[in-house]
Each structure stands twice: as C-alpha cells, then as structure tokens.
Amino acid sequence: MANSAPPTTDDGRYERQPFHFTERITADGRDGRPAEPGRYRIVVSRACPWASRTLVTRRLMGLEDVISVAVADPIQDDRSWRFTLDPGDVDPVLGIAFLADAYHKADPTYDGGISVPAIVDVPSGAVVTNDVFQVTLDLATEWRAFAREGAPDLYPEALRGEIDEVNARVYADLNAAVYEAGFATTQEAYEDAYARVFACLDWLEERLAGQRFVVGDTITEADIRLFTTLIRFDAVYHGHFKCNRNKITEMPVVWAYLRDLFQTPGFGDTVDLDHIKRHYYEVHANINPTQIVPSGPDLSGLTTPHGREALGGRPFGDGTPPGPAPADEVIAQQL
C-alpha cells in the first residue's frame, strides 16, 4: 500500500513535482512523435482527476479506436500504479505489471514520482509524456485528423487566450489548491489553500450564473478541467481534504452546472466514483490512517434536471454528441 507523505516545503505547503517526460505527439511529427493510430497507449487511473481529463477528451473526440487505454488499479503499492485489474496482473498491450516499468524504459535513471496520465509508445514500451496539460490540448488539436465526424472544437483559436486565462486561475486556486489544503502540514498553509478554493468557487458561482459554459457558448477544455475537480469535491475534497465550508450540492449554480456536464455524453460516462473514493481514502493513509472508505455522500442528484438549457449555448457547437462508450469501457455508476 502506498503510504508515503506527499512532498511539502519547509512552511508546510504541498509541492507538486514538475513533469519529467514532455515530448509532444503532433500531427506533423515535428518533434519526432507523429500522431499515428495504434502506436500509443494512454495509461490512466479513473481515480485521478488529471487522468480523467484525458478520458473525457478522448471520448468527446471519438478517439477510442485510435488510442487505446490502460486502466490502473486505483489502489497503489510502493511501486505506484499497477495493472492488477488485468488478467495475470499485466497490461495486455504493454506487457508490464507497473507503469514504472515504462518510465524506466524511457529513462533508466529516473527516480521521481510515477504519475498518470502517461502516454506510452507501444513499439518501444517507453513513456513519451506525462505532461497532463499538453496531453489534453494535443488530443483535441493534433489528433483531429483521426477524430470522429462531428467532434467538437475543444480549443477554438478565437477563445484560446480566455481559455488559458481561466484555466490558469482554476488550476492554481481549485484543481491544485484542494490538494494543497489536503496535504498541508501547517495551519497557515491549509488556511491559505482553503481560502483560495472557496474564492474560486464563489467566482465560478457568479460567472456561471449568466452563461452555460465557462468560456463561450460551447464545451471547451476549460469545462473539462473544471469538471474533473467538481465531480470529486463532495465525495473526497470536502471531507478528506478539509475543504468543508460547503459542498457543491449547496452552491445552486455550480451544482446545476456540474449536473449539466455529468449528463452530457463523454463526461458522466467516464466517472468511476468507486475508484475515486477507494483511491483517496485507502491510499492517503497519512490523512486517513484507518483507511475506511465512507459510504456517502448521496450523489443520486447528479441525474436530476438542471435547467441550464435556459441559458442557451450549444454543448458541441456545430458538432454532435459522441456515441455510446465502448462495451469494455462502460462504467457501472455508483450513485
């Protein structure tokens, strides 16, 4: 069982490691890694919000038959992400038992953290990138030649400046700040992160009151990055990470927005609340030493009417919703 405390600074602040593998996979292969069907495999944990972004983007773009996915066990051991959900505890495509094997194939001297998502080059078995920020943008743009007909434009050129600006704030004050609150080892560090989390949520409550999506009138990268944090908030961050001023269900606008996205094909059908809760409560034993996984909260309201259609907007723009998830990727919802 993984039980090491996350890295913190001298003043008790959680510090995320920089990405070590940052090669880009592009349409023209200008960096030596061309987008090519069947060549790469995305390793994810459905528990991880950063990895879940890739699952949402892949579904929306219709890349299921182009880039395969390996799903790691939500419960890590000392060697981190493992493939114990697969027969023989080995990923059937990569032929490895641990994601660390692909990291060390790329760099035998690497001694940092093993993170998901990670894109692995199947022929060589080596990790190409674990840069979650660039991965989703590239799936939405550099892989477009292989996307389904009707795939949405998740990073429209005219809105990229605003999307980047919103993403920067949401990352610093929500996506990352919930972890900074949860892993803080001093009261001051915790209170700073806590304040930023709820200032950001209050800003979103106001911003989303008059518009259906975070930027523009269609779903973009900004919505994907926000969704994967919001869907975990009440189940994990509210209690486990002590972000407990209020739940998302107690914020009328953000709660309706979350329901809207959850009910949109490509979002809710990638969510595995069982994996999410078991990972956080069992793996973070420094925070939850009993490793008891809570039975709640009741999230059945995610499927209730949200009324956001009244704000207008076109979720997929000029495109269309994705079709049903592949049979081997269907998730039994725990609502």
List, in sequence order, every residue forming a beta bridge with 80; answer none if it has no partner: 77
Element (H, E) at 43: strand 40-44
Instruction: Given the residues 14, 40, 48, 103, select the one marked as catalytic.
Output: 48
* 246 DSSP 8-state letter: -
Instruction: Given the residues 14, 103, 171, 179, select the one marked as catalytic.
Output: 179
Give residue 64's Cα distance to chain centre. Answer: 17
Element (H, E) at 192: helix 187-207
List, in sequence order, every residue forming a beta bridge with 22; answer none if it has no partner: 129
Cis omega (within 30 of 0) for bond into 297? yes
* 128 DSSP 8-state letter: E
List, in sequence order, every residue forming a beta bridge with 8; answer none if it has no partner: 14
Q: How far, in Å, CA of 51 to CA of 225, rounded?
A: 10
Q: How far, in Å, CA of 3 to CA of 268, rounded?
A: 30
Catalytic residue status for 103? no
Give the 3-state DSSP-derived string for 62-105, with helices as H, strands as E and coil as C: CCCCCCEEEECCCCCECCECECCCCHHHCCCCCCCCEHHHHHHH
Q: Which residues of 48-59 are buried (b: 16+ CB within 10 A; e: fewer)?
A: bbbbbbbbbbbb
Retrieve residue 185's tokens. 């080892």
Residue 237 identity (one-letter amino acid) = Y
Catalytic residue status for 179? yes
Query: Among all residues, which ones are annotated catalytic?
Result: 48, 179
